[in-house]
């Protein structure tokens, strides 16, 4: 798959009926020759350009980072706030309200104890590989900017990966770049490169899929 393939598919999508709002572009990678139940896929891809939808970030921090967290995150909690989340209903609401969670490294044991069961089930525990477990001198502005361009791809039961790669009102070059970035990341994360890719499709929120 190359730039021309992607541009051709986007041109075909633009011929579909228009909606009254700017739709998102969804990339769908259908897989083959994989036993997903025994070898599930779960990885992050940081794009070069925004994906067209803001993500919400919550942070568990000490007093040293609280001002930064309040400024650059959608929710900032210190250890004294943890008691607000003593029941499952509050924990579930928290997990559903935010896309990514950041935690100061020293607080991770208490974060795991208080929030781990629910965030773990949702796959939203602060992820060190993504840079979400931070030191007390972390730059949360830069981390938030990175998370705004990060997508997560998972395949645990169905043999396909899907994520948002942009919006209709976004420059086409950015969408094309995001699509190719995700595709290359998929090839690196499946065991047999292109041999594990059945086909790739792109679609708008309410549109019909188009093969790349």
How confident is the chain (212 residues) per 10-residue block, as mean pLDDT?
94 92 96 91 94 93 96 97 90 95 97 94 93 96 96 92 95 97 97 95 95 93
CATH architecture of the domain with residue range 3-51+149-211: 2-Layer Sandwich (3.30)
For the stretch 21-71, pLDDT in tens is 999 999 999 999 999 988 899 999 999 999 988 899 999 999 999 999 999
Which tokens belong to 200? 């790739």
For residue 13, the number of C-alpha atoms closer than 13 Å in the C-beta half-sphere is 28
* Burial class of residue 83, CB neighbours in 10 A (0-12, 13-18, 19+): exposed
Which tokens belong to 187? 């090839």
Residues 6+ away with beta carbon under 8 Å from 99? 55, 56, 57, 124, 147
Question: From CA 128, how far away is CA 104, in angstroms rounded?
Answer: 10
Q: Give the per-residue pLDDT at 38.
A: 87
Q: Give the per-residue pLDDT at 1.
A: 86
Q: Give the per-residue pLDDT at 133.
A: 98
Q: Give the per-residue pLDDT at 39.
A: 86
CA Rg, the chain, in Å? 19
Q: How many CB atoms lie within 10 A of CB 31?
A: 18
Q: Give the per-residue pLDDT at 118.
A: 94
Question: From CA 97, how far away is CA 162, in angstroms rounded?
Answer: 21
Cβ(117)–Cβ(144) under 8 Å?
A: no
**Under DSSP, is residue 73 helix (H, G, I), strand (E, B) or coil?**
coil
Q: Give the per-residue pLDDT at 62.
A: 96
For the chain, which residues make up each domain, given as ranges?
A: 3-51+149-211, 57-148
Question: From CA 112, how far away is CA 122, in angstroms rounded?
Answer: 13
**Identical fold between 3-51+149-211 and 57-148:** no
Instruction: For domain 57-148, say whether CATH 3.40.50.300 is its number.
Output: no
Residues 6+ away with beta carbon under 8 Å from 139? 68
Whole-structure pTM over 0.75, yes or no? yes
Question: From CA 90, how far away is CA 113, in angstroms rounded?
Answer: 15
């Amino acid at each position: 798959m190359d730039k021309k393939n992607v541009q051709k598919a986007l041109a075909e999508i633009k011929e579909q009926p228009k909606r009254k709002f700017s739709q998102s572009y969804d990339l769908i990678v259908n897989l083959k020759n994989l036993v997903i139940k025994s070898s599930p896929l779960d990885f992050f891809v940081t794009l070069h350009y925004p994906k067209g939808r803001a993500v919400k970030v919550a942070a568990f921090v000490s007093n040293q980072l609280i001002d930064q967290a309040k400024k650059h995150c959608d929710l900032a909690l210190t250890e004294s706030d943890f008691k607000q989340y003593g029941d499952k209903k509050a924990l579930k609401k928290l997990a559903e309200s935010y896309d990514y969670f950041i935690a100061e490294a020293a607080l991770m044991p208490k974060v795991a104890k208080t929030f781990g069961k629910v965030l773990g089930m949702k796959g939203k525990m602060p992820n060190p590989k993504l840079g979400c477990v931070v030191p007390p001198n972390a730059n949360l502005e830069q981390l938030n900017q990175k998370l705004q361009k990060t997508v997560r791809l998972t395949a645990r039961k169905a043999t396909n990966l899907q994520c948002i790669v942009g919006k209709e009102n976004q420059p086409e070059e950015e969408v094309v770049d995001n699509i190719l970035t995700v595709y290359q990341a998929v090839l690196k994360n499946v065991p047999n490169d292109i041999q594990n890719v059945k086909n790739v499709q792109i679609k708008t929120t309410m549109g019909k899929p188009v093969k790349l």
